Each structure stands twice: as C-alpha cells, then as structure tokens.
Structure 1
Amino acid sequence: MSEPIRRDRLSRGGPASRSIVDGHDRTIQVPSDDQQLSRVDDLPTDAEFGLCLTHDVDRPHKGLRSLYYATQERPRYHLRTALDSSNPYWQFGEIMQLEDELGVRSAFYFLNEQHLLTDRPASEWVVPSNWVQHLGRYDITSNEISAVIQALDAGGWEVGLHGSYHSPTDRNRLHEEKTALEAVLGGPVTGGRQHHLRLTVPETWHHHREIGLEYDTSLGSTTECGFHGGYQPLRPFDDEFVVFPLTIMDQALPDPGTSFEAARRTCERLLTEAAANDAVMTVLWHPRYFNEQEFPGHRTLYRWLIERAQELGAWIGSPGAFRNAIAEESDHESATDAQTAPVAPGGAETPSSARPSPVEDDV
C-alpha cells in the first residue's frame, strides 16, 4: 500500500536555465514557471525527495557490433566477444538481483526499432552509422526478449516504451510500437522515453497522451547532469499527463572506471540538491553499463546511488510507480474528504452556504 502524500511543501521550479543542449546539438526550450506551468509538487509522507530509476533497453545483444568496437579500442577483447557465445550486454538478471537486494524496483523501456532495409528509405542504407545501429536491433516478440519482459512484470518491475528513433513526430508509429509491446506484456504500457532523447516539444507529448501514455521521461541531456527541467515533474497540459525530467544519464557522468570519486561526487551533489528542494530525481542506467568488463565502476556507482538515496530518506521506484502513488493518494484523500463532509437530513451533503457559522453556533 502506498503512503499518504505530503502536501505541506511549496513547489519550486528549479535552476534559472530553461534550455537544454543535448549531445546532438539540439536545443530544447523548457517552459518556465513564469508561464505558470503546472507541476507535481507532492511527495510520499516522510520522503525527503523522490528517486526514479530507469533503464533504456537499446541493445541487449552485442553481437557483430563487437567488430565495430574493435576498430575503436581494445581489439582483442571486442573480437573475443564477437566470436564466442557470451553476450556481455545481457544484464537483466544482474540488475534484477541488485535491485531486489536493495528492495527497490525500476522501469525498463523496450525499443522496437524499424528495420533499416524494409522500413527505411534507400538513402539511409549508405550511411555507416545507420548500419552500426541496425546491427544491434532486436525483436521484442522473440522468445528470449518476451520471457524477460514477462519476468520483469511478474517481479514488480515496470515495462515501458522506448520510442524508436524516427517516432517522435509519428503518432501512428508510436501507437504501433506501444500496441506491439502491450501484446508481449499482456497488459497496458503507461509511459517511457524516446530513443536518444529525441523530443519535439510539445508535439511528442501530444502524441504520447493521445495513444494512451500517462507520462514521459525524454526531457533531458545526453551530456550534462542536473535539474535542467526543474525540481518537480511537469504537467504540460495541466492534466494527468506527467513529464519526468531526466537528471542523470550514465554516459554524462565522469567515467567511474577512471574517476570513480568524481562520478560519486556528482551523484552526491545532485542527491543533496534533490533532498534540499523536495525534488523528484530521475536517473538512466543502460543495461550494458552493468557489464564490468567494458564499463567498470558503473554497477558499483548505481548501487551506491540507491543506498545513499535511502540514507537521505528518498522514495525510490519507477516513474510509473511514483505517478500511481500520487494518483492513488489523491483519490484516497478525495474519498476521505467526502466521507467526513457534514451530511444534511436525507443523506445529502449540507451546502457550505447553509452550514451555521461559528457565530451562529454561539448564539
């Protein structure tokens, strides 16, 4: 059962900067509080702040991509992973075990990327980077991916949508991807994040809301960590649709493999800033980053981040779980208010204008 929502805190918008420049040199203007943008300013009772945990499932198989990586660095290691049967990017079990030990649950966003040769124009076939991306494409309906999705759901983890590269402005494509994932999951998908944080504001959010998604976590930077979108989640349409700004992406941190203390200090700074401002902090760790051979330090840092957040009194879970907790407690409080309201003879609630004032009571 979720805890009651604390409503005695003021909403604070966050840092003065209202734009984000991501790793693709795209500038996203974030609506400011001066525009009276609605925000979620509630936290569970006794929680100092919220920490939402997410994982984008981009490439669960390394496969032939090893050949490309071998041209960049550590050729012996990458060639070995291409030739043997190991799959160092398949980290679902390790993540689930780690989070289970810590008593937390996160969200996994699954990608249903288009096929380069059958779904994309021929002009894109000659671009090398497209082939590198395509080599890691996976099928969400395959037996192994379906089994993981269902195991996550059965264990209490959230399964969400990772909108494909070309979907931010394509509502039909987004709807197809959501429907396909729900067929595998056997239930509704309520939120997710766009691939590479590709976002058109507010068009993409309109599409998300229209296809039945309840939240999005695409607003953020691939190169900088911080509360760019403010301390509280946004309600861009002043309704129940919620945007969780991304605070930390793993690749934007100092490399914990070579500078663990610098990465830890960045996380500590943001955790304490979140606690001081009643914030909801959203973090993204790609599953492949839990492979200690290629990304040393990231798994240790992720564990430290959760344990430190627990020490600071954070509510910890998936964005969907946070949103549900807020909605459930709001409904509970509304029902409680209705039960305790004065009732007139015959069972009807006494109109406020008809209720005696304290002066009349004294008389």
Structure 2
Amino acid sequence: MSGEWVPEGHEFALCLTHDVDRPYKTYQSLFYALTRRDPSQLLDLTPGRRPYWTFPELLAFEREHGVRSAFYVLDEQSLFRDRPPREWLTAEGWQLYAGRYDIEDAPIRGLLGTLRRGGWEVGLHGSYEAVDDRAMLREEKRRLEAVLGESVRGGRQHYLRLERPATWEHYRAIGLDYDTTLGSPDEYGFAHGYQPLRPFDDEFVVFPLTVMEGALPDPGEDFDRAWAAVESLLAEAAANDAVMTVLWHPRHFSPDHPGYGRLYRRLVTTALEADAWVGPPGELYSLCASTAVAADD
C-alpha cells in the first residue's frame, strides 16, 4: 500500500490536530512564578486574563491559509469535585485533574460552535481513566455530541494512554471511525509506518502520531534546531507519500511556550508550498478510507 491515503494532486498528507487540555491558566501561574522566579506570572490569575485561550489567533491563522484542523475535547474529572480527598494534595492529583474545564461552560460552548460553523473538526479526547472503560468513553462521547450538536468521528486518548487493541475496540464499538493516539510524547518520527493502520482489517483506522510539539527541541531555546527536525519530517513524508500527523496543544501558542506558535505556522506554510494536502484526520478519512480499503482488497 503506497500513497492511497494521499489525495490526488498532492505529494503527501499533513493532519493537523490539537488536544484541548488546559484552555485556562490556573495553578501554572504560581508554579512558573516559583520555578522561573518570575512574579509577573501571578498577573495571569487576575480577572480577564486568559493567556492559554489562544483559539482566536490559531483559528485566524488556519483560516487565512485555507486549512482546518481537529480539536479533541476533554471531558475530564475535577480534582475537588470528583476525586477523593486523599488526592487533593498529591502532585499526581493536581497534574491529572486540577485546572480542567467543563464542556458545558459558556466559553467552551461558544468555542465548539465556532469550530463547527467554521468547518473545523471536533473530536473526542478520551479522559485519563477511560482508556479501558467503554462505558466511560461512550458517556464522554455522548456529552460532547450533546454540547456540539453533531456526531464526532474520531479522537485521541489523554496523555496518549493506549491499551492495544482494547482502546481501539472501544472506539469502534461506540461508533468512532478512527483514533490518533498511537505515538510518543518524547520521540518523533514514522515509527509506525507511513500510512494509517487498520488494526481489525475493516474500516476502523489508526492515524499514528508523527510528532507532538513537546518531543521536539525547544524552539524557544534554539529555533533553528527545532525547525531542522520538523523540516526533516516533512522531507521524509514527501519522499514516502506519507500521512504525517502532528499534535500542537493550544496552550503552546501562548507566551509561556515561546517559539512553538512560530514553528507551527512555518510547518503549515512549508507543507502547503510543498503541495501537501493539509487538514484534519476526519476529512482525510472521508476522502480516502474507501479508496484505501479497495486498494488493499
């Protein structure tokens, strides 16, 4: 199978994805004030400041360049509302459950409406404990679809947690067409091949994650080194008619993560100049899934 997943007239495919984990900056203000010795971080706790709410700038860039991406939305438990008191003062409890959001809050509802009307894909970001819990995944999908007002087609598990093949079996059973979890938070590359996978030899598809932004050299410290890594992935994708899937968290477009927004913008514009198809996985699935299946039969 070579190139069946690349739409005609394009050299390779680039799938753009964003995991919506922390759209609000909360305890990070205190953490950065202490670890970076920067008291100005505490100003981000004042009313009206939302440095991690980077969606307007991100959507404006993608709209300007005629591309769309997928936003995977998390319906995670709240530390103080849903978790036992013994976890309230643990580092793990704060890391996993503090500072999350409610998908029914007005700003999130507004964001989902903007994404839906603008042609972006919204998908499921399965919660930390849902990795092997079909009932929990089904309920998270149901709640998301109720707020969104339409069905979702695919998603990715939080923290890239994956039980193979159980998580994929759950995704397929609750009516999802694809998953994008397979990958690493620390390494980048085409470790799982150049094409999407069909673990059950049917129409359910896995889009391996090629790179998460945090696995790259820090562009705030050495942008040229970070860009060299991204450029090498684009060249490898073009040379192999590949599907390249990238993950950029929205908070990485904030001042707390300098260089990552610039790196993303250069990634997208360079791919477009190289005649790549650029868009969300759900759209690529619609364009190519049936063709790819037929090519294998």
TMscore range, shorter length: over 0.9
Aligned partner (choices 242, 245, 248) of residue 285 of structure 1: 248
CA distance in 1, matches of 2:184, 2:212: 8
Q: For the structure 1 residues 93 and 301, does the alpha-carbon distance in structure 2 shift closer, same or farther, using more than 3 Å as the test?
A: same
Contact 1:65 1:135 in 2 (8 A): no
Question: In structure 2, what is the equivalent of residue 213 of structure 1?
Answer: 176
| 1:225 correspondence with 2:166 | no
Q: State the secondary structure of the residue aligned to 1:192.
A: strand
Quote how far apart the aligned CAs of 1:312 are. Answer: 1.4
Aligned partner (choices 239, 262, 277) of residue 300 of structure 1: 262
Quote how far apart the aligned CAs of 1:218 are. Answer: 0.4
Q: State the secondary structure of the residue aligned to 1:235.
A: coil
Question: In structure 2, what is the equivalent of residue 70 of structure 1?
Answer: 33
Q: For the structure 1 residues 114 and 278, does the alpha-carbon distance in structure 2 shift closer, same or farther, using more than 3 Å as the test?
A: same
CA distance in 1, matches of 2:116, 2:291: 23
| 1:91 correspondence with 2:91 | no
Question: In structure 1, what is the equivalent of residue 278 of structure 2?
Answer: 316
Aligned-residue CA RMSD in angstroms?
A: 1.9
CA distance in 2, matches of 1:284, 1:81: 25
CA distance in 2, matches of 1:243, 1:185: 24
Quote how far apart the aligned CAs of 1:276 are. Answer: 0.4
CA distance in 2, matches of 1:328, 1:148: 31
CA distance in 2, matches of 1:274, 1:238: 24
Aligned partner (choices 233, 248, 252) of residue 270 of structure 1: 233
Q: State the secondary structure of the residue aligned to 1:71.
A: helix
Amino acid at match of 2:36: E
CA distance in 2, matches of 1:268, 1:323: 25
| 1:59 correspondence with 2:59 | no
Q: Give the number of the structure with larger relative contact order, counting CA–CA contacts within 8 Å between residues 6 or more apart.
A: 2
Percent identity, aligned pairs only?
A: 55
Q: State the secondary structure of the residue aligned to 1:62.
A: coil
Quote how far apart the aligned CAs of 1:329 are. Answer: 6.0
Q: 1:18-63 CA deviation, whole Å, 9 max, x = no partner?
A: xxxxxxxxxxxxxxxxxxxxxx833211111100000000000002
Q: State the secondary structure of the residue aligned to 2:35.
A: coil
Contact 2:69 2:279 in 1 (8 A): yes
Question: In structure 1, what is the equivalent of residue 128 of structure 2?
Answer: 165
> Structure 2 matches for 1:216-255, cutoff 5 A?
216-255=179-218
Q: State the secondary structure of the residue aligned to 1:167.
A: helix
Q: Normalising by structure 1, what TM-score?
A: 0.78
Contact 2:126 2:158 in 1 (8 A): yes
More helix by share: 2
My pick for the range that moved more, 130-139 or 269-278, is 130-139
Contact 1:65 1:132 in 2 (8 A): no
Amino acid at match of 1:207: H
> Structure 2 matches for 1:71-150, cutoff 5 A?
71-150=34-113
Q: State the secondary structure of the residue aligned to 2:59.
A: helix
CA distance in 2, matches of 1:325, 1:262: 34
Quote how far apart the aligned CAs of 1:80 are. Answer: 1.7
Amino acid at match of 2:274: L
Q: 1:200-258 CA deviation, whole Å, 9 max, x = no partner?
A: 11100000000111100000010111011111000000111110000110111111111
Amino acid at match of 2:212: M
Q: Structure 2 regions of 5+ residues with no counterpart?
A: none
Amino acid at match of 1:119: D
Amino acid at match of 2:277: W
Q: State the secondary structure of the residue aligned to 2:128.
A: coil
Contact 1:53 1:105 in 2 (8 A): yes
Amino acid at match of 1:77: S
Contact 1:113 1:137 in 2 (8 A): yes
Q: 1:172-211 CA deviation, whole Å, 9 max, x = no partner?
A: 1111100000001101011111000000111000000001
CA distance in 2, matches of 1:43, 1:83: 47
Q: For the structure 1 residues 86 and 230, does the alpha-carbon distance in structure 2 shift closer, same or farther, using more than 3 Å as the test?
A: same
Contact 2:19 2:250 in 1 (8 A): yes
Q: State the secondary structure of the residue aligned to 1:228.
A: coil
CA distance in 1, matches of 2:274, 2:233: 12
Question: In structure 2, what is the equivalent of residue 326 of structure 1?
Answer: 288
Quote how far apart the aligned CAs of 1:85 are. Answer: 2.7
CA distance in 1, matches of 2:201, 2:266: 36
Provide the aligned length of Structure 1 versus Structure 2.
295
